[in-house]
């Protein structure tokens, strides 16, 4: 008889503990009503932010684990715990493409996943993340290459992109305007942007007119910075963007041939 009473007490205690424990502590499954991710193609530091939206079914868990994983190998890039959830309410989680330490992830395909801590992960939507955007927003071709000889013993320090005059130019990466100006003998109207979360500087020249941006102004990836032109020593040639990429900052060390990067950005922009 005593043994039966003891067994009953243990069973009641276990039941009470289960009822008192939150869903996430028991490994219960997450029940989702809907999930969506937008945009499907996101650029680092663009005005349009990447966003996950989801609704959970009743009973709502106390907390949900949200993570971003790289599709090709399932490696976690960033994770959060979200609380104060209500069944049927739209919950949101944004991501700017940075890991917890601040570094920007590489171009590629990623997805959001959701679970109660300790439970099975549910896929919540895939997207492509890109850390740069192609600078010419229109039809174009490639012109003079990096390193070709120039007058006065100079060499070409960038890559020319040929496009109709007036074609919009956009910031290939967000950051701050470091300088702007005009050079009649070389670059015509030009603008220099210090890239965000990188040591790189990006130089755009032969613009149709002065950029509307002021020195020190914040610019986002994809923001309009001017138009294709043929100012400076391009005035007798064709409409073009002369684009330079400086890995360690403008005039610090040597520029890098930007053609490979431009072609990569061109495929996805």
d(C-alpha 135, C-alpha 207), whole Å: 12
Quick count: other Cβ atoms within 10 Å of Cβ 66?
Answer: 20
- Stated pTM of the model: 0.84
- Is 80 exceeded by the pLDDT of residue 16? no
| pLDDT at site 23 | 38
CB within 8 A of 157, min separation 6: which ones?
Answer: 146, 244, 255
Pairing, β 76-83 against β 50-56:
unpaired
Model confidence band, residue 28 (pLDDT cutoffs 50, 70, 90): low
Assign domain 23-130 one CATH number from 2.60.40.2550, 3.30.210.10, 1.10.260.40, 3.20.20.70.
2.60.40.2550
pLDDT in tens, 208-245: 999 999 999 999 999 999 999 999 999 999 999 999 99
- Residue 111 pLDDT > 60: yes
DSSP, collapsed to helix, strand or coil, labels residue 59 as coil
pLDDT, the chain, mean = 90
**What is the average per-residue pLDDT within 69-83?**
97
DSSP designation for 48:
S
If one compares 121 and 148, the residue with the highest pLDDT of the two is 121
pLDDT of 54 over the 80 cut: yes
Does the structure show a pLDDT above 70 at 69? Answer: yes
Among residues 56, 73, 64, 239, which one has the least CA distance to residue 162? Answer: 239
Characterize the bridge pairing of strands 240-246 and 122-130. unpaired
Q: Which of 82, 101, 94 is nearest to 42 (CA)?
A: 94
DSSP character string of 130-188: ES---SB-S--EE-SPTT-B-GGG-B--SEEEE--TT-EEE-SS-EEEEEEEEETTTTE
- Tokens 């503990």 sit at which residue? 17
CATH of domain 141-268: 2.70.70.10
- Return residue ranges of the chain for CATH 2.60.40.2550: 23-130
pLDDT band at 153 (very low <50, low <70, confident <90, very high): confident
Kindly report, as residue ranges, where domains of CATH 2.70.70.10 are found in the chain.
141-268
Place 114 in a pLDDT band, splitting at 50, 70 and 90: very high
Give me the pLDDT at residue 97, please: 97
């Amino acid at each position: 008889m005593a043994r039966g009473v003891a067994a009953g007490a243990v069973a009641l205690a276990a039941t009470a503990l289960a009822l008192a424990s939150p869903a996430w502590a028991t490994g219960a499954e997450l029940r989702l009503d809907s999930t969506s991710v937008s945009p499907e193609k996101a650029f680092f530091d663009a005005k349009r932010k990447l966003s996950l939206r989801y609704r959970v079914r009743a009973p709502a868990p106390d907390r949900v684990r949200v993570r971003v994983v790289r599709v090709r190998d399932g490696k976690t890039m960033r994770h959060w715990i979200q609380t104060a959830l209500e069944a049927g309410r739209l919950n949101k989680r944004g991501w700017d493409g940075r890991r917890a330490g601040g570094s920007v992830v590489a171009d590629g395909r990623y997805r959001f996943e959701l679970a109660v801590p300790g439970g099975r992960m549910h896929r919540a939507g895939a997207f492509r993340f890109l850390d740069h955007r192609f600078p010419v927003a229109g039809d174009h071709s490639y012109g003079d290459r990096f390193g070709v000889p120039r007058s006065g013993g100079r060499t070409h320090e960038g890559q020319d992109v040929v496009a109709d005059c007036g074609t919009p130019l956009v910031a290939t990466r967000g950051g701050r305007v470091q300088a702007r100006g005009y050079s009649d003998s070389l670059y015509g109207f030009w603008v220099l942007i210090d890239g965000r979360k990188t040591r790189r500087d990006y130089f755009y020249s032969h613009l149709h007119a002065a950029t509307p941006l002021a020195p020190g102004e914040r610019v986002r990836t994809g923001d309009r910075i001017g138009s294709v032109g043929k100012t400076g020593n391009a005035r007798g040639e064709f409409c073009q963007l002369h684009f330079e990429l400086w890995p360690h900052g403008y005039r610090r060390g040597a520029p890098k041939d930007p053609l490979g990067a431009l072609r990569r950005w061109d495929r996805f922009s």
